[in-house]
Amino acid sequence: MASSLKSWFPIPKSSHFSLANLPFGIISTSSKSTPRAAVAIGDHCLDLQEFSSSGAFSTLGIDASVFSKSTLNDFAALGRPVHRSVRKFLQEVFAEGGPHAKTLQSDESLQKKCLLPRDQVKLHLPMHIGDYTDFYAGRNHAFNVGCLFRGPDNALQPNYTHLPVGYHGRASSIVISGTPITRPNGQILENPAATPKVPTFSACKRLDIELELGAFLCKSNDMGKPVPISEAADHIFGFVLLNDWSARDIQAWEYVPLGPFLAKNFGSTISPWVVLTDALEPFRTSGIPNETQLLPYLQEKEEKNVYDIRLQVDITPEGHETTRILNSNGKNLLFSFPQMLAHHTISGCPMAVGDLLGSGTISGPEKGSEGSMLEVSKGGKETIKLNGGVERKFLQDGDTITMYGVCGTEETGLVGFGECSGTILPAPKL
């Protein structure tokens, strides 16, 4: 395939959206405001509604009306074999000398209709998300945070290596990259050591990020019918970056005994293009070794069950230059997404197409690879020095966070996620 991945269409070498990728998203344009499906390619995207209306997909035998929907749910529901054949077909459409190159290459009028500069399209949430679950499978993060709260000897709870710890999140608060995030107000305990413990009402003072991957599902299961681990990968449509913004002070006061709530539901940002599971296949690798003997329902045949994705986070304080504050990697997970799904459904929990699973914060083992500011600043005790003499412990109003994730090399074509960004607005005055 590598040789056919040279395209007749200009794709910058540094683009996350090489022919080896072709991620799916939902776009609209000023001339046509109805959201519809597209794939990203280089600095452009291919409007799939327009392209399919030319009859381009007729040889594939799929229902091309899925590309006219305002979410990717119906396309996702066609299943991974269909995603695979559509992506392969599109690779052949764009490949230099590919078997379907003539479809578009020789038709300038079709190109003009279908190939839109990406900076001229508006991006929408790619899926209708019925339910969102956030896991905690980044062992280094769980350990780092556990150390801050309970010391290294008790950092991880006894259940941690036996199952992917997770909790239900708030689907309505998932927003697309570029959506501003309003700093939450809430109850915080200014002095946790004082007695009695009396909270004050305040804007969050310890506003943080969490660097995660998100997986969208493409297959449902009925209530009472678990998804076996051997079939779980077939349920995963593709991946996005996920910034699980977190209000640490609100969280510390509210989270016992039922878990994080308002500390998490004021907004979670995802990158707009869904990178198909197939596009990440070449980048499979092993995750964090788990020495615990897992119960059979979590035992995965595939040892390379996570992905080698270079993850980076930049901060841009308003009016200042950008600083890269961390570098991590998607492989820093103790459990894979198939394991998360097998666990999630072992109770019989029904999952739907479009449901989103978050990985948990992906921290690497070494300094500079921590996936949250809580970790980098050691619980707010140390200052993070940024370019231009700016300092941070947590986020300030006007700060913009941008996450990136990319696999592969420019030689064979990058497979990346684009940007996952958000800017902090001040808390409402109440």
Cite the active site residues: 141
Binding segment (CB under 8 A) for a copy of itself, from list 5-13, 22-30, 111-119, 219-227:
219-227
Is 255 labelled a binding residue?
yes
Confirm or reject binding of residue 191 to a copy of itself (CB under 8 A): no
Is 251 labelled a binding residue?
yes
Confirm or reject binding of residue 331 to a copy of itself (CB under 8 A): no
**250: nearest Cα among 268, 267, 263, 265:** 263
In angstroms, the CA 60 to CA 309 distance is: 31
- CB nearer to a copy of itself: pick between 360 and 416: 360
Binding segment (CB under 8 A) for a copy of itself, from list 106-114, 258-266, 303-311, 382-390:
258-266
**Of residues 56-85, which lie at the interface with a copy of itself (CB under 8 A)?**
none
**Of residues 350-369, which lie at the interface with a copy of itself (CB under 8 A)?**
350-352, 355
Confirm or reject binding of residue 175 to a copy of itself (CB under 8 A): yes
In angstroms, the CA 104 to CA 56 distance is: 9
Binding segment (CB under 8 A) for a copy of itself, from list 87-95, 112-120, 230-238, 348-356:
348-356
Q: CA angle 375-379-384, nearest 5°?
A: 65
Q: Parallel, antiparallel, or unpaired for β 356-358 and 211-217?
A: antiparallel
Rounded to 10 degrees, the C-alpha dihedral 273/277/278/282 comes to 100
**315: nearest Cα among 304, 326, 305, 307:** 326
Is 246 labelled a binding residue?
no
C-alpha distances in angstroms, 206 versus 19, 113, 359, 424?
41, 47, 22, 12
- According to CB under 8 A, which one of 121, 176, 263, 401 is a site residue for a copy of itself? 263
**125: nearest Cα among 77, 69, 207:** 69
In angstroms, the CA 417 to CA 415 distance is: 7
- CB nearer to a copy of itself: pick between 23 and 260: 260
Contact footprint for a copy of itself (CB under 8 A): 130-131, 136, 157-159, 162-163, 165-173, 175, 182, 184-187, 196-201, 223-226, 228, 247, 250, 253-263, 265-267, 295-297, 343-344, 346-352, 355, 425, 428, 430
